[in-house]
């Protein structure tokens, strides 16, 4: 449907302000061209509205029994609490998409803030020293098991998130900026939130308003068992992050942390079998390493609803009973989007192939209709798949970030010169153009250029165009200035036309540098990241650094990085979620979200008061223009601090069989970003 996902996965005010956000929201800057078997080019600097037929989108044949999708990996879990927690894998996202309900979401193509199960925009008022946000819900939406979705579900989910201090994606849903936000059911279908300060773009629209809602009647007992772990546990008076705590204070901190860790573990590891869904499909069966089966939800509230967007900015939703909701315009001008929501196929079968090659071979052979591919697509593999009969390609700009990250809690990764030396010697252009044949694009900012409103084109690119000799010489000088030394310094040999590697590298603390590892997925899973990993390791060794590349399974990396924060460096990628308001600048790099402390997504452990101040203002402002300025500043600051070094972004090419009718194909991030439109795609008989 129209409520697009905003969660971060390992590929978002006042009513008057909400109107401003929608009016100023970044427009799509992508052009989708469908050319079977031919190269497709994305023009990322030109706004091209989605082309739609004047007539209603309809099928000329009867819908088939199954929508067949290929994926590469198993989900981590089917437990939705876990999915937004430590199990935030992109493969989990595909299999549980739509399980949750929400009060608000984002429209399909313009990312306008729109109601989902809310009847209208919220009423926001100042009452004494606090602000209240009151939302009236529809009263006839149900879970897949027939139980009504009501205000008590909303409050239940909010309180569990807040009280149990849930981690990863969860904090922004119930406690953005670390705020304590109350939630109360005024009646069965009216929710009232209490904010300690005026709700902002980051705390309301991109935060609590779009928070997931889960069914109280199913999860109540599990959540109650989690509460039992923290019953009677009080927050220590001491600052648990301080060094040199007394024995008593340390014991109190340990007891407190352990209680909440056990409470969360109980919830994250709970059996989700039979959990009801609010979306178009219910995940009914999962056989490890084989397939996941999803069945149509006969009680899906939006089944048969029509979504229309006009070029005057209007968004319109018409339910099957004729109820119409319209915002942001007078429905004048041309329709730029018009589709009717499913679900269409009674079943979705998601076959787990274990590798990208195997999945696309299955597509070419007609075993699946579509492959959900969060990775880059090598030209050879794409050409091989397109030799299959009836294969179409859909190309869009990406909304993802592939990067190398450093554990800044450890020495020497904590040293600015160490990270800068890596930035200097990583020749992205060489790997992409000479090794990977240009299948991806070098990335210099933490904001993909496809999201033109938020991308800062002026982020410095000081090392582009340098020769290998210049890179090595510059990196050596940076390290020497920070106090590094060698028994034999690396240098460029004119006769060999190559680098003579350094030996005996001593760190500024006087110790010989110890071995470091770069974790990353292997070539069967993602040959692009595996290639970068091996080249970066080799360039580090040229500097005399004992760095090795460790290529392993994708799911194997999640524990050390996102749970234990026990790694040296790693290479992964993000699907960035909320296009309209990029609150990942808070989630990924604000010090309060340090993975080692909070279990959230600041995996490098960046702790910069200057950066935190920018993020706090960004998340607190109701001024979209100021928010854009702050994101521009944060991109420049991150390019200097280097908790991540961005490596590349993709031009997203999706391949699908021509028996699939998609509701639209212009999607920032590609059809993959919409999880293959599982509810709204129509698999047709030929």
pLDDT of residue 21: 40
Question: Residue 334: is it exposed, middle or buried by C-beta count within 10 angstroms (0-12/13-18/19+)?
Answer: exposed
Arithmetic mean of pLDDT, 234-243 = 88
pLDDT of residue 631: 98
pLDDT of residue 555: 83
Which residue from 570, 526, 551 is spatially nearest to 376, judged by alpha carbons? Answer: 526
Helices 527-542 & 416-425 angle (0-180, nearest 10): 110
Question: Residue 404: is it exposed, middle or buried by C-beta count within 10 angstroms (0-12/13-18/19+)?
Answer: buried
* pLDDT tens for each residue of 522-564: 998 899 999 999 999 999 999 999 999 999 988 889 899 998 9
Q: For the chain, what's the residue count?
A: 686
pLDDT of residue 39: 30
Which residue from 113, 88, 118, 91 is spatially nearest to 102, judged by alpha carbons? Answer: 118
Rounded Cα–Cα distance for residues 593 and 583 (Å): 12
Of 239-243, 364-368, 497-501, minimum mean pLDDT range: 239-243
* pLDDT tens for each residue of 284-312: 999 999 999 999 999 999 999 999 999 99
- What average pLDDT does the structure give for the chain? 89
Arithmetic mean of pLDDT, 107-132 = 95
Q: What secondary structure letter does DSSP report for 666?
A: -
Kindly tell me if the per-residue pLDDT of 13 is higher than 50. no
pLDDT of residue 42: 31
Of 83-87, 127-131, 190-194, minimum mean pLDDT range: 83-87
Arithmetic mean of pLDDT, 565-583 = 91
pLDDT of residue 584: 94
Kindly tell me if the per-residue pLDDT of 614 is higher than 90. yes
pLDDT of residue 577: 74
pLDDT of residue 65: 87
* pLDDT tens for each residue of 417-452: 999 999 999 999 999 999 998 989 999 999 999 898
* pLDDT tens for each residue of 630-651: 999 999 999 999 999 999 998 8
Dihedral of CA atoms 158, 163, 167, 172 in degrees, nearest 10, equals 40
Which residue from 629, 620, 665, 651 is spatially nearest to 197, judged by alpha carbons? Answer: 620
Q: How confident is the model at residue 685 (pLDDT cuts 50, 70, 90)?
A: low
Tokens at residue 205, please?
A: 């629209």
pLDDT of residue 241: 81
Tokens at residue 124, please?
A: 């926001």
Q: What percent of the chain has pLDDT over 90?
A: 79
Whole-angstrom Cα Rg for the chain: 25
pLDDT of residue 18: 31
* pLDDT tens for each residue of 662-683: 999 998 889 999 999 999 999 9
Q: Concatenated DSSP letters for 591-603? A: GGGBHHHHSSSBT
Kindly tell me if the per-residue pLDDT of 239 is higher than 60. yes
Cβ pair 318, 1 in contact under 8 A? no
Rounded Cα–Cα distance for residues 213 and 269 (Å): 19
Please, what CATH class does the domain formed by 73-268 belong to? alpha beta
pLDDT of residue 43: 30
Cα distances from 66 to residues 242, 343, 660, in angstroms, run: 56, 11, 11
Q: Concatenated DSSP letters for 346-386? A: SEEEEEE-SSHHHHHHHHHTTS-SEE---S---HHHHHHHH
Domain map (residue ranges) of the chain: 73-268
Q: How confident is the model at residue 24 (pLDDT cuts 50, 70, 90)?
A: very low
pLDDT of residue 580: 85
Q: How confident is the model at residue 56 (pLDDT cuts 50, 70, 90)?
A: very low
pLDDT of residue 489: 97
pLDDT of residue 63: 53
Q: Concatenated DSSP letters for 89-145? A: -HHHHHHHTT-SB-SEEE-TTT--EEESSBSSSPEEEEETTEEEEEEEBPSS-B-TT
* pLDDT tens for each residue of 186-195: 999 999 999 9
């Amino acid at each position: 449907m129209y409520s697009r996902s905003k969660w971060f996965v390992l590929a978002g005010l006042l009513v008057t302000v909400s109107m401003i956000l929608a009016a100023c929201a970044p427009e799509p800057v992508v052009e989708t061209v469908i050319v079977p078997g031919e190269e497709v080019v994305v023009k990322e600097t030109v706004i091209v509205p989605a082309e739609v037929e004047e007539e209603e989108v309809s099928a000329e044949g009867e819908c088939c029994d199954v929508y067949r999708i290929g994926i590469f990996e198993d989900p981590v879990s089917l437990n939705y609490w876990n999915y937004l927690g430590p199990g935030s894998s992109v493969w989990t996202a595909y299999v549980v998409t739509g399980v949750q309900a929400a009060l608000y979401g984002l429209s399909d193509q313009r990312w306008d803030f729109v109601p989902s199960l809310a009847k209208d925009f919220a009423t926001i008022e100042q009452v004494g020293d606090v602000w209240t946000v009151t939302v009236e819900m529809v009263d006839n939406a149900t879970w897949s098991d027939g139980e009504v979705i009501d205000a008590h579900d909303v409050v239940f989910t909010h309180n569990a998130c807040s009280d149990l201090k849930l981690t990863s994606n969860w904090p922004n849903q119930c406690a953005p900026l670390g705020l304590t936000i109350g939630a109360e059911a005024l009646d069965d279908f009216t929710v009232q939130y209490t904010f300690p300060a005026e709700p902002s773009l980051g705390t309301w629209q991109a935060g609590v308003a779009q928070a997931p809602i889960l069914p109280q009647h199913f999860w109540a007992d599990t959540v109650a068992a989690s509460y039992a772990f923290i019953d009677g546990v009080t927050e220590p008076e001491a600052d648990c992050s301080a060094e040199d705590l007394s024995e008593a204070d340390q014991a109190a901190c340990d007891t407190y942390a352990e209680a909440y860790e056990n409470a969360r573990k109980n919830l994250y590891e709970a059996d989700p079998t039979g959990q009801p869904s609010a979306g178009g499909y219910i995940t009914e069966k999962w056989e490890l390493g084989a397939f996941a089966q999803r069945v149509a939800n006969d009680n899906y509230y939006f089944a048969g609803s029509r979504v229309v967007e006009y070029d005057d900015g209007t968004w319109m939703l018409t339910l099957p009973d004729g109820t119409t909701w319209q915002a942001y315009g007078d429905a004048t001008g041309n329709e730029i989007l018009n589709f009717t929501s499913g679900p269409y196929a009674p079943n979705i079968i998601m076959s787990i192939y274990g590798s990208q090659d195997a999945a696309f071979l299955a597509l070419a052979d007609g075993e699946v209709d579509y492959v959900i591919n969060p990775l880059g697509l090598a030209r050879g593999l794409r050409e091989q798949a397109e030799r299959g009969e009836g294969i179409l390609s859909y190309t869009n700009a990406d909304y993802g970030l592939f990067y190398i990250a450093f554990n800044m809690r450890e020495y020497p990764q904590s040293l600015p010169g160490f990270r800068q030396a890596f930035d200097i010697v990583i020749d992205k252009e060489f790997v992409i153009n000479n090794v990977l044949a240009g299948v991806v694009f070098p990335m210099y900012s933490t904001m993909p250029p496809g999201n033109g409103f938020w991308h800062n084109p002026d982020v410095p690119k000081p090392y582009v165009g340098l020769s290998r000799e210049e890179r090595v010489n510059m990196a050596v000088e940076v390290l020497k200035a920070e106090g590094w030394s060698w028994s034999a310094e690396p240098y460029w040999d004119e006769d060999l036309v190559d680098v003579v590697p350094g030996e005996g590298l001593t760190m500024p603390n006087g110790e010989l540098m110890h071995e470091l590892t770069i974790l990353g997925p292997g070539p069967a899973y993602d040959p692009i990241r595996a290639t970068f990993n091996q080249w970066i390791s080799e360039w580090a060794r040229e500097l005399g650094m004992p760095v090795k590349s460790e290529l392993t399974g994708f799911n194997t990396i999640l524990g050390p990085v996102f749970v234990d924060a026990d790694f040296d460096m790693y290479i992964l990628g993000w699907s960035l979620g909320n296009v309209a308001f990029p609150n990942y600048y808070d989630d990924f790099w604000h010090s309060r979200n340090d993975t080692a402390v909070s279990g959230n997504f600041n995996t490098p452990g960046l702790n910069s008061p200057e950066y935190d101040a920018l993020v706090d203002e960004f998340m607190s402002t109701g001024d979209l223009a100021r928010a854009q300025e702050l994101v521009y500043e944060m991109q420049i600051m991150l390019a200097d601090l280097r908790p991540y070094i961005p490596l590349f972004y993709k031009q997203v090419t999706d391949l699908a069989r021509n028996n699939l009718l998609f509701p639209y194909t212009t999607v920032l991030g590609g059809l993959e970003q919409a999880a293959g439109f599982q509810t709204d795609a129509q698999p047709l008989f030929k």
